Structure 1
Amino acid sequence: MKPHKLLLAVIFLFTTAIHSQDGINVIPQPTKVEMGTGAYFLEGDVKLIAISSVKSEADYLASVLEKGFGKKPDIQQRGAGIALKIIPDLKDKLGEEGYTLTIKKNGVTIAAGNQTGIFYGIQSFRQLLPPNFEFKPQTDDIEIPAVKIADNPRFPWRSFHLDESRHFKGMKEVKKLLDQMALLKMNKFHWHLTDDQGWRIEIKKYPLLTEIGSKRKDTQISRNSDQFTGEPHSGFYTQEEIKEIIEYAKKRHITIVPEIEMPGHAMAAVAAYPWLGSLGTTKEVATIFGKMDDSFNISDPKVINFLKNVLDEVMALFPGEVIHIGGDEVNFEPWKNSESIQAFMKKEGLKSPVDLQIYFTNQISNYVDKAGKRMMGWNEIMGDDIHKEHGADIGEVEQKLAESAIVHFWKGELDLINNAVEEGYDVVNSNHWDTYLDYTYERIPLSRSYSFNPIPEGLDEKYHSKILGFGTQMWSEYIPTVAQMDQQIFPRLAAYAEVGWTSLSEKDFERFENSLIILKERWNLAGINYHEATE
């Protein structure tokens, strides 16, 4: 880091103004920043100017200002102060999520083509306030430098994934993470709610999924270990709690993408209803981690009906367009050894277990399509042998994934992404070597997180639009506590925010580190236990 940039960042921590020829400290870095002359003085009696269509965003900003000044500002339709303006033409210029933020001596204007852009403009404005503004009463006016920002994201899909199946964290922590996502303009919360080690979502038609499937009697301590905690683990969300979290996310312009694993990673469900399984031997929720033996018996119409009924309740709860079904790490051996499954495959002309999985996945994809949504799954849903486990007996895969499916790439050669987009699929790139937050900082240092490019090198430009964006994943098998989880997430979450938002031409790791100093001060005050990462 250059000494003068470090000095400026440190000075900012002890003053209320930014005076920097290098610009402003906002993460993710905006598309275009023009520094002006002079400053705006934010006072405790400031007025918010907003029409009714942006009332939610105005209320949000009012609550931010109340934290610093101790009183909520008035919201009115005319006057001077901080103006929130919908300008339809800006949607054409800056897209669905773009905004402008203009700060002059006589006031502040946040403008956008819709409410989402207004909200993101507010997030940039928040980062121009002192780091302690929302945590400590302000006794003086706040001096904010004159600036004009025109900003819009690089990708429409900027996702953070939380695995709560392995270790349940609860509503308070989810809301905290949603708050941090909002500040960093991340717009998809990928919520991993079911797996072998726990079923975390209430399904009213099948109460045993949570009565039995949400509880395990013990937990493996580390990978390939024969040591266990010796303590039970449990927890789930009622549908009312999920509705509350959905509404909380909605006010922060975050869409929740629920993940209901199928056909593998199913042992918690099978423990609750053993007739769902392929083995007929699963009686308990898994206490160890990894690739499990059992999976749904997808040759049984009753099992398909069960999964559709579950999806009906999930799709009724979550208003977002996308439903994630997992689809990864299916153990094919039980299918190969099952007479009923082999008979079903013969009847349907399916030559391999891979064909059977794609056949099933397409059934689910078509069902989700009919509900007006889209199915998404990890890239095994295409039938590629990413684990090098298929063997010679699999042969050539004949089934083809439904065209509407979104492919979530996590493992395999990058050529698989090229193949997917060339075949017409939309792709979200979450290459595990670059995006998995459970990996150590030695494996994925902050600089590597920051440098990740969701568009693979060499991909023909005509396919770039097929890369919707990226996701960063917090897997929780061996990360049981919130303190441990926060260490893995922060500060890398801020780096991934720039991966999704900031154009390549504006990315600068040195500048990012400078801005991160101020963001860390906010995290200190918020009690977030971040890792003191090195490059």
Structure 2
Amino acid sequence: MRKLLKTVAVVITTGWLCSCSGEKTEANYQVIPAPQEIVMAANGDFTLGSGVKIVYPEGNEAMRRNAEYLAEYLQKATGKVYQTMAGTEGKGNILLQLVADAEKPEGYQLKVNGDGVVISGASEAGVFYGIQTLRKSIPVVENSTPVLAGVEIKDAPRFDYRGAHFDVSRHFFTIEEVKSFIDMMALHNMNRLHWHITDDQGWRIEIKKYPLLTEIGSQRKETVIGHNTGKYDGKPYGGFYTQEQAKEIVAYAAERYITVIPEIDLPGHMQAALAAYPNLGCTGGPYDVWTIWGVSDNVLCAGNDDVLTFIDDVLTEIIDIFPSEYIHIGGDECPKVKWQTCPKCQARIKELGIKSDDKHSKEEYLQSFIINHGEKFLNAHGRQMIGWDETLEGGLAPNATVMSWRGEGGGIEAAKQHHDVIMTPNTYLYFDYYQSKDTENEPEAIGGYLPVERVYSYEPMPRSLTPEEQKYIIGVQANHWTEYIPTFAQLQYMCLPRWAALCEIQWSQPEKKNYQDFLARLPQLIKSYQAEGYNYAKHVFDVTVDFQSNAETGAVDVRMKTIDNAPIHYTLDGAEPTAASPVAEEVLSIKENCTLKAMAVRPEGNSRVFTEKINFSKSTCKPIVANQPVNKQYEFNGVSTLNDGLKGNGNYKTGRWIAFYRNDMDVTIDLQQPTEISSVSFSTCVEKGDWIFDVRGVTIEVSEDGDKFTQVFSEEYPAMAETDRNGLYEHKQTFDPVTTRYVRVLAPSEHSIPAWHGGKGNFGFLFVDEIVIE
């Protein structure tokens, strides 16, 4: 039996393709996503020579296309041309065939022996996924001849719905770019394209009954620069798809067994539509297509009968374009401020007899009226509705499927109500988030931090659900919002290789998942990215660094590793590392100020340089305790994050910040011996839109025994104003020198968000980092 190649050959340079004339290569079936069952067989190898044909059932058009796709994939991998033919003769060839399996319609079997290759599927789609596994098993080497070891692979997907969301409203993408996105999905065994085609910033689909939607609603006069800086680029921006173009996309996806699910986001996210038809809004306008990001207060008027007609008319044309079972109608982020003062909306509330209660306001119940109207229309026309998890507010439409994005809470609640659920939590699957902590050297993103490892760690079946309730979790999806993704190359960079982790969540059984094994299989998939010319991110090949504050030794313990155990060379003086620099030990203990730089050195090319400044003060790596608990969601390495010598940047999700919520920062640091001090400083990270506010004051206390404390500094701060900036705030408290062993730092969080904010009256989050004592 031929041994599978397990070598991890990391290739850094984009577009790499080996050029060894006539080289024989060996297939490696350790692909992504991991198949359910791989059994190596001692019944002979099969060589994919130039005479091998790809055989498909006569008269089956879908199988003919499958054969042509496989021929195209093999040509890209080997440089050879493979012929396709109708028939049933598998000996000496690659035979594609259908077999009955009603339980697993997307399942397949891949068998290789000395007589040839047989890919059997329960459906044409199943055969297509078997083709993807074969494609990804064959090394990409120009002018090569693959040798396939004997094997039997049995496989089927874990989830029926395996989705990727594509926002073309904030930034527009061409038909060819959408097709390339679909091809990327096929490589990762995905089968649902959630196409977000309308929003405040642009209406992107032709509706013939309402021509102004694209004539006016698809064009914005300019676009905000950066994170709503108040500066604009001054450039008109637009684009839309005709109905014929949309149908072309639908057909292209269907040939790759991908269903396009359109989203018409309502009743919020509608300012582009209101710009075209201002009579549909509560105030009558005038409105402009929105030029900033975020959520507009201008929404469809729920008390206007013309709005109900508009919804019906738009959905009538949408279901004619898109044959999908599901139609997504949004339901997310719909501010109710206009409804609260709109006579028509208030009259509708009175007409329906809607009352506020302890769960929801009457305006939230009014949104359910709109969502239910949309669902009834879709159901009457043989379609099903998907809505974001806000559709739970005010009562869920009877047959609705819920897409859970604000964490998993909405999905859990919907499953308990026996509604189908698609899990797409922003905490794991929002791929507009940064994938590196080094945000200064990354393309601008909306925020957050989701490296490949965190994506891979996601388990979509909540343990809080019973086995019966878990059956309602029908799928998993990642979302790609494009406010900060203006080009397709950047979109690919944000997708790949996070899609590799995503597709294994969607397809593979949980017992088959192992992150280290996944990393060993990843370079082979990345060669497919290179062959296709995809602009993938290379973070997984960089040096991964873990910092731990060691209170026993007073040092920062640094552990560095790479995906393939490549040697890591480092410096501590800020100089650029080279192959002549020291090689990292298992643990590097640092006890003084330094600038650590590290780089993996490989024959194929070096990784990017990792850089981190470590700054020591009298508090660094000293024992520290939290007198009030750290928020579990943002606990990261715990309270020792506050004195580990590392400073957080403007991204509060990188693990360099910890949060306090519904309580205050209250920590005590043991300096371990009497020490003279005269200042205490720390930083906060403010992001008011995410309910993250600055401290409301600071108190510093000192003690000789850790029991009895004396106050040396205290100051209160006013609540933040709406005009106060987001970002980093430095707080330095100075006082007369005092000798002490214990230092207690208290900083109240915002206990009542100001009235100008949408979260008024609620607690705010407090994000704090690096307490420096001097």
Q: TM-score, normalised by structure 2?
A: 0.63
Give the secondary-structure state (helix, strand or coil) at the position aligned to 1:85.
strand
**Structure 1 counterpart of 2:381:** 371
State the SS of the aligned residue for 2:265. Answer: coil
Higher strand share: 2
Instruction: Give runs of aligned pairs for residues 431-446 of structure 1, distance below 5 A.
Output: 431-441=425-435, 442=437, 443-446=449-452
- Alpha-carbon shift at residue 91 of structure 1 (Å): 3.4
1:525 deviates by 2.9
1:423 alignment partner in structure 2: 417
2:397 to 402, 412, 415: 402
Equivalent residue, structure 1, for 2:94? 82
Question: Is 1:122 paired with 2:126?
Answer: no
CA distance in structure 2 between the partners assigned to 1:5 and 1:103 by the alignment: 16
Instruction: Confirm or deny that 1:102 pairs with 2:96.
Output: no
Q: Which position in structure 2 is the counterpart of 1:463?
A: 469
Instruction: Give distance in 1, aligned partners of 2:495 and 2:225.
Output: 20
Q: Which residue of 2 aligns with 1:162?
A: 166
Structure 2 counterparts to residues 180-191 of structure 1, below 5 A: 180-191=184-195
Q: Which residue of 2 aligns with 1:357?
A: 367
In the alignment, structure 1 residue 39 sits paired with structure 2 residue 75: no
Alignment of 1:79-478 (within 5 A): 79=89, 80=91, 81-88=93-100, 90-92=101-103, 95-132=104-141, 136=142, 138=143, 140-351=144-355, 352-383=362-393, 397=394, 400-411=395-406, 414-441=408-435, 442=437, 443-478=449-484
Asked if structure 2 preserves the Cα contact closer than 8 Å seen for 1:267 and 1:282, the reply is no
Cross-structure match for 1:389: none
State how far apart, in whole Å, the 2-side matches of 1:334 and 1:264 are: 11
Aligned to 1:50: 56
Q: Tell me if the contact between 1:155 and 1:501 (Cα under 8 Å) persists in the aligned partners.
A: yes
CA distance in 2, matches of 1:189, 1:16: 38
Q: Which structure 2 segments of 5+ residues have no match?
A: 356-361, 438-448, 545-774
> Aligned partners of 2:24 and 2:303: how far apart in 1?
65
8 Å contact kept, 2:302–2:348: no
Note the C-alpha offset of 1:423.
Answer: 1.0
Distance in 2 (CA, whole Å) between partners of 1:476 and 1:278 is 28
Contact kept in structure 1, 2:462 and 2:470, CA below 8 Å:
no
Secondary structure, counterpart of 1:474 in structure 2:
coil
1:30: which partner in 2? 35
Match of 1:493 among 490, 499, 510: 499
Q: How far is 1:465 from its partner?
A: 1.1
RMSD: 2.0
**Secondary structure in structure 2 of the residue aligned to 1:470:** strand
SS of aligned partner of 1:260: strand
CA deviation after TM superposition for structure 1 residue 72, in Å: 4.8
User: What is the CA-CA distance between 1:25 and the residue it aligns to?
Assistant: 2.8
Are the equivalent residues in 2 in contact too, given 1:49–1:78 (CA < 8 A)?
A: yes
Compare 41-50 and 71-80 and name the one that shifted more: 71-80
Distance of 2:518 and 2:434 partners within structure 1? 21
> Structure 1 residues 48, 6: CA separation in 2 closer, same or farther (over 3 Å shift)?
closer
Whole-Å Cα distance in 1 between the matches of residues 135 and 421 of structure 2?
Answer: 32
Structure 2 distance, partners of 1:327, 1:110, is 43
Query: What does residue 390 of structure 1 align with?
Result: none
Contact kept in structure 2, 1:260 and 1:324, CA below 8 Å: yes
Looking at structure 2, the residues matched to 66 and 265 of structure 1 have their Cα atoms a distance apart, in angstroms, of 45
Kindly indicate whether the alpha-carbon contact (under 8 Å) linking 1:66 and 1:73 is maintained by their aligned counterparts in 2.
no
> Cα–Cα, structure 1 residues 525 and 112, in superposed 2: closer, same or farther, change >3 Å?
closer
**1:445-465 Cα shifts (integer Å, max 9, x gaps):** 100111111112332111111
Q: Secondary structure at the match of 1:111?
A: strand
TM-score scaled by structure 1?
0.90
**% same residue:** 38
CA displacement 1:53-94 (0-9 Å, x = unmatched): 322322322333455455451312132311111111x333xx
CA contact (8 A) 2:67 2:84 kept: no
Do the aligned partners of 1:26 and 1:515 also contact (CA within 8 Å) in 2?
yes
1:313-351 alpha-carbon deviations (Å, 9 max, x no partner) = 110111110000111000101000101110111011122
Rg larger for: 2
Q: Distance in 2 between matches of 1:213 and 1:232?
A: 12
Deviation at 1:517, TM superposition (A): 0.7
How far apart, in 1, do the equivalents of 2:192 and 2:286 lie?
Answer: 34
Equivalent in the alignment of 2:71: 62
Cα gap change, 1:498 to 1:13, in 2 (>3 Å): farther
Which of 490, 494, 502 is residue 484 of structure 1 equivalent to?
A: 490
SS of the equivalent of 1:417 reads: helix
Contact 2:217 2:276 in 1 (8 A): yes
**Contact 1:403-1:424 at 8 Å conserved across structures:** no
1:69 to 1:13, Cα distance in 2 relative to 1, 3 A: closer
- Aligned in 2, Cα 1:188/1:209: closer, same or farther, shift over 3 Å? same
Q: Secondary structure at the match of 1:17?
A: strand
* CA positional deviation for 1:173: 1.2
Q: Structure 1 pair 416/74, CA: closer, same or farther in 2 (3 Å)?
A: closer
CA deviations on 1:218-246 (whole Å, 9 max, x unpaired) are 11122231122221211111111111111
1:17 match: 25
Are 1:274 and 1:280, in contact at CA under 8 Å, matched by a contact in 2? Answer: yes
**Deviation of residue 145 (structure 1)?**
1.9
Partner AA of 2:7 in structure 1: L
Q: Is the 8 A contact 1:255 1:320 kept in 2?
A: yes
Distance 2:280 2:160 in 1: 37
Report which stretch shifted further, 8-17 or 119-128: 8-17
> In 2 relative to 1, CA 16–209 (structure 1 residues): closer, same or farther, beyond 3 Å?
farther
CA distance in 2, matches of 1:127, 1:282: 54
Instruction: Answer yes or no: is the 8 Å Cα contact 1:16–1:144 preserved in 2.
Output: no
SS at match of 1:488: helix
* Higher RCO (CA-CA < 8 Å; seq separation 6+): 1
Query: 2:376 is aligned with what amino acid?
Result: N
Q: Secondary structure at the match of 2:152?
A: strand
Report if aligned partners of 2:25, 2:145 keep a CA contact under 8 Å in 1.
Answer: no
CA distances 1:146-166 after superposition (whole Å, capped 9, x unpaired): 211100111111100010000
CA–CA distance in structure 1, aligned partners of residues 126 and 24 of structure 2: 26
Contact 2:36 2:512 in 1 (8 A): yes
Question: Structure 1: which amino acid aligns with 2:159?
Answer: F
**Residue type matched to 1:160 in 2?**
A
Aligned letter for 1:74?
T
Query: Deviation of residue 261 (structure 1)?
Result: 0.7
CA deviation profile, 1:482-505 (whole Å, cap 9, x unmatched): 222221111101110001001010
